[in-house]
Amino acid sequence: MRFFEFEAREVVRRAGIPVTDYGFTTDPAEAKAIAERIGGPTVIKSQVLTGGRMKAGGVKFADTPGEAEAHAAEILELEINGHMPRGVLVDPRAEVEQEYYAGVVWDGTRKQPVMIFSPVGGIDIEQVAEEQPDKVGRRHFSNILPLSDFQAKEVIASTGVTGSDLNRLVPIVLRLARLFVENDMVLAEINPLGRLADGSFVALDAHMDIENEARGRHKKLLADLGVGEEETRQAREATPFELAGEEVDAQDHRGVAGNVTEFDGDLGLVIGAGGGSLTLFDAVRAHGGRPANYCEIGGNPSVAKACGLAKLVLSKPGVDKIAVMMSIVSNTRVDIVARGVIKACLELGLDPAEKIAIFRIPGAWEEEGFKILERYGVDYADRSVSLNEAARRAVEKIQGAPAR
């Protein structure tokens, strides 16, 4: 769940990292008052959860409070990439001698946070890494063991920063790393981190993203920031198809049959179990398939929920067939899911043998499940067929090629 810049700045400030004397508002008159309090040139920044603010006119410079008010009024009405701003941030125009980058990102492959530092800030760190790789320092660290000064110092020093700058940057990077771990974040980035004329450092912009599943652990922080429980903060609003998926999953407490994401392909997916969804989705694409959706099913949902999910996917315009596939071997009962997806076909007046491209869920109660599938002529595979092979067969079927 992403934070707006004004929220991320507050998180940074609470962690003891210096920030500018900024203010957030939804009212142009208040923007003027904030600019008066700042008492100098200001920057008015749209608070939207999308990139390209500057290019879209969502960041404007003001020399007077009156100008700040006028810019705020314009920006508050400005839609950027389909997003209306939550408000504006009124920020002093700091006299910066140099811009740095400090960030911590969750490395899903290593299952560890990685600290990233660069003395080249103010632009995308990916660009710096490509153009000046020696100016980017990285280090993984434990999210369980305490972080040491030495670790932060090593990362910063590896980019050529020395002396007083190094000493002043170490606590900032350390605090950033700690706030990342303490708040279950997947991204905590200060860019730019500005060095002022007196040698001090100040966070000029911040981006943060908290692990969605950890929201429950940070209710106080979210309440303090005014983040409503209903706010998903996803990259785009949920589609009616996705909302319908949520309703299916909410039918009862048993298992999971939802977390649907809409795509525009022709192969509907009923996939899941132990990370199987992502693997299977990727496998379908790797074989040239065009998924109509992503979803998650597992943990022994009721027949009604499996049926509801399959009906939803089958009813999606453009979906020709569905592939029902789960992880290597699943604890979710095969017979229950088989009943659900077959029932979905029957209730929609469709032939399960025609509409289910492949059913590959080996595991609990598979013998019973296979009896059901055979009864309705559904093509199924047992555990001797890999996820990859099952995905290939599903794609071949929908593309009209003979399945091997």
Partner 1 sequence: MRADGTFIAVEVEDAAAGDTELARRLAEACPVDIFLASDSGVALVDGNLDECVLCRLCLDAAGARGAGSPVKIIKLYDDGALLD
Contact region with partner 1 (CB under 8 A), list: 132-140, 205-213, 272-280, 368-376? 368-376
Contact region with partner 1 (CB under 8 A), list: 82-90, 118-126, 221-229, 297-305? 297-305
Residue closer to partner 1 (CB basis): 103 or 298: 298
Q: In this chain, which of 302, 315, 388, 399 binds partner 1, going by CB under 8 A?
A: 302
**Cα dihedral 385, 275, 297, 248 sign:** negative
Q: What's the closest the beta carbon of residue 302 comes to partner 1, in angstroms?
A: 6
Query: CA dihedral defined by 386, 390, 393, 395, rounded to 10 degrees?
Result: -130
Give the interface size with partner 1 as a residue count (CB under 8 A): 16
Q: Residue 375, interface with partner 1 (CB under 8 A)?
A: yes
- Tell me whether residue 368 is exposed, middle or buried, using C-beta atoms within 10 angstroms of its C-beta: 0 to 12, 13 to 18, 19 or more: middle
Q: Residue 235, interface with partner 1 (CB under 8 A)?
A: no
Q: Residue 343, interface with partner 1 (CB under 8 A)?
A: yes
Residue type at position 27:
D
Q: In this chain, which of 29, 346, 348, 401 binds partner 1, going by CB under 8 A?
A: 346
Q: Residue 336, interface with partner 1 (CB under 8 A)?
A: yes
CA dist list (Å): 55 to 25, 45, 59, 288, 329: 22, 12, 8, 36, 50
Q: Residue 59, interface with partner 1 (CB under 8 A)?
A: no
Q: In this chain, which of 62, 372, 381, 387 binds partner 1, going by CB under 8 A?
A: 372
CA dist list (Å): 277 to 78, 153, 312, 327: 38, 40, 17, 8
Q: Residue 368, interface with partner 1 (CB under 8 A)?
A: yes
Contact region with partner 1 (CB under 8 A), list: 166-174, 194-202, 317-325, 333-341? 333-341
Bridge partners, 103 (sequence order)? 116, 189
Q: In this chain, which of 56, 70, 304, 385 binds partner 1, going by CB under 8 A?
A: 304
Contact region with partner 1 (CB under 8 A), list: 135-143, 154-162, 220-228, 332-340? 332-340
Residue closer to partner 1 (CB basis): 339 or 355: 339
Contact region with partner 1 (CB under 8 A), list: 132-140, 165-173, 190-198, 336-344? 336-344
Contact region with partner 1 (CB under 8 A), list: 71-79, 128-136, 198-206, 371-379? 371-379
Q: How far apart are CA 116 and CA 156, in angstroms?
A: 8
Q: What's the closest the beta carbon of residue 313 comes to partner 1, in angstroms?
A: 19
Nearest residue to 50 (alpha-carbon basis) of 233, 193, 187, 211: 233
Residue closer to partner 1 (CB basis): 57 or 365: 365
Q: Residue 342, interface with partner 1 (CB under 8 A)?
A: yes
Residue closer to partner 1 (CB basis): 92 or 340: 340
Residue closer to partner 1 (CB basis): 87 or 369: 369
Angle in degrees, CA 46, 174, 116, rounded to 5: 65
Q: In this chain, which of 9, 71, 218, 333 binds partner 1, going by CB under 8 A?
A: 333
Q: What's the closest the beta carbon of residue 246 comes to partner 1, in angstroms?
A: 21
Q: Residue 371, interface with partner 1 (CB under 8 A)?
A: yes
Q: Residue 355, interface with partner 1 (CB under 8 A)?
A: no
Q: How far apart are CA 392 and CA 72, in angstroms?
A: 54
Q: In the structure encoding, which two tokens stand for residue 306, read together? A: 């499996």
- Binders of partner 1 among 144-163, rule CB under 8 A? none
Residue closer to partner 1 (CB basis): 177 or 303: 303
Q: Residue 8, interface with partner 1 (CB under 8 A)?
A: no
Q: What's the closest the beta carbon of residue 53 comes to partner 1, in angstroms?
A: 51
Which residues here bind partner 1, judged by CB under 8 A?
302-304, 333, 335-336, 339, 342-343, 346, 365, 368, 371-372, 375-376
